[in-house]
Structure 1
């Protein structure tokens, strides 16, 4: 007799040794039945055992063909809390959507969309050759797809330092000092790409940066490492600096945009997302959290 136990998608991904996005894909397609407790999705142990007993393990490596059953689940992938608000607003707006959240970095989001494992993704990827955000990367990753890029929010990205900025940091070149210990983001994160591009532009070798290979997986974790004295500097966004005991040195205004694939079945989803983005209450909620919503909802690229 199975105990009345349940698992989060993250726990299931570890048990089955697959990515979290694969688990979300299984839930989305109805192959794993999930339910929500607050903001968190759960799957009962009995349901997991039933899934395994149906002999579908081999389907985890390559996503199965679309289920014949209609599903209202959509996967929204990205790490910013603004996406949590978007998911709640979409669910409140229409009962046909059951948003599932995946907290992945920008590059992993594009891979997930290319592989059909996410419906709405966010990106904030700086390209040093064009001085643009997002479009150069999206066009390369989704080269064989039709897609739409929608302006979401603007954020200021920069350097986290201890209170008072004791090392007097003001530029990317200042990171070369051997007295400065840094904390980095994981590979694929937008903040990591921003740092790497700035190092390339300024002809700085990553080997010159003490702590370059020390990684955390969120802006908050990076800010906490700086606040706790485990590092002297990290790259992150202004919103997080405001809620932690650190200083923030703005370096660039970044575009945090949304991407959706264009297809017949996605036309309704695109329309509904644009409706939420242009909702006055939604924009007001984001602005109250410090986000710049100028231009939100505008289509900035379509292919």
Structure 2
């Protein structure tokens, strides 16, 4: 019977077409039910089906939430019980922000969608998300986010609001035994790289740098090997399964046996539709970003520059 079937995390990852690390994160967060047999982890087929149904339900909620926002009276701050607010992005700062919003709107459903920058902008354009984050570097302008928002949300005014600044760099083993310091070092035959998935800000940064430096991605050992988060990349380096990966400084602070080589300061922004700004939940979001208590909480976890938090960077 199908109800008796169980899967390993690796098998679940293949079924869902995500990384094994993401499966473990889903289990850790309680989103996917699993059990242990000794040290082995198993997921029942029925629990996997329930997770997929919930994920499909969340997608439906995104569409209905987007539609209902258009008819929501902005003067009624507690009329959102039948709505949903979808926040896309992977940074822990978004989890803190979501908790703050939940306190102010306990009847509003907040859905966190852990996807990369380009997928987030696509979701915003298609009406499947309400707040997305992006850290996409454009090599032609040496600018973050504005060129991408302008191209990917055509005909719809969007506001770009700074959340934090972060440092992108290389994750390497302790004391950097391979002496990896520059983008060109990634092409060395003795260096194994671990990449991020297509559409993530780190992947775009890498590809843009390779284009500017005229480095072929085929010369990088491991370019096609992908993980779905900064922590997953850093963890793979820590385990010795790769020599170098690219990601933010915060993840290096969370993973043992990894050193961080800073390369570039990036602007990590929120993007919302301008038409939503006057609605109560978005006004609350802007208010939270500009409170000293929220900024202090983010500064307290380390790895972030909050000096421009809450500032409107552009309307495009």
TM range (shorter): 0.7 to 0.9
Paired position in structure 1 for 2:288 = 276
1:287 paired to 2:287:
no
Residue 227 of structure 1 and its aligned partner are, at CA, apart by: 0.4
Residue 255 of structure 1 and its aligned partner are, at CA, apart by: 0.6
- Judge conservation of contact 2:63–2:127 (CA < 8 Å) in 1: no
1:169 paired to 2:180:
yes
The runs of 5 or more residues in structure 2 that have no matched partner are: 4-29, 33-46, 73-79
1:301 paired to 2:311:
no
TM-score by length of 1: 0.80
- Judge conservation of contact 1:24–1:102 (CA < 8 Å) in 2: no
Q: Which structure's residues are more often helix, by fraction?
A: 2
Number of residues of Structure 1 aligned to a counterpart in Structure 2 = 263
Q: More displaced, 262-271 or 108-117? A: 262-271
- Judge conservation of contact 1:12–1:23 (CA < 8 Å) in 2: no
1:255 paired to 2:267:
yes
Residue 118 of structure 1 and its aligned partner are, at CA, apart by: 0.5
**Residue correspondence of structure 1 range 1-303 to structure 2 within 5 A:** 8=31, 11=48, 15=52, 20=55, 23-28=57-62, 66=68, 71-95=82-106, 97-244=108-255, 245-263=257-275, 267-290=279-302, 291-303=304-316
- Judge conservation of contact 1:241–1:247 (CA < 8 Å) in 2: yes
The runs of 5 or more residues in structure 1 that have no matched partner are: 32-62
C-alpha RMSD over aligned residues:
2.6
CA distance in 1, matches of 2:236, 2:305: 27
1:184-226 CA deviation, whole Å, 9 max, x = no partner? 0011111111110111111100000000000000111100110
Residue 270 of structure 1 and its aligned partner are, at CA, apart by: 2.8
Structure 1 residues 187 and 143: CA distance shift in structure 2, 3 A? same
Residue 78 of structure 1 and its aligned partner are, at CA, apart by: 0.4
Residue 72 of structure 1 and its aligned partner are, at CA, apart by: 3.7
CA distance in 1, matches of 2:142, 2:237: 28
Structure 1 residues 264 and 152: CA distance shift in structure 2, 3 A? closer
- Judge conservation of contact 1:24–1:75 (CA < 8 Å) in 2: no
CA distance in 2, matches of 1:301, 1:12: 42
CA distance in 2, matches of 1:132, 1:269: 29
Structure 1 residues 155 and 145: CA distance shift in structure 2, 3 A? same
Structure 1 residues 285 and 11: CA distance shift in structure 2, 3 A? farther
SS of 1:263 mapped into structure 2: helix
Residue 268 of structure 1 and its aligned partner are, at CA, apart by: 2.7
- Judge conservation of contact 1:226–1:246 (CA < 8 Å) in 2: yes
Structure 1 residues 128 and 289: CA distance shift in structure 2, 3 A? same
SS of 2:279 mapped into structure 1: helix
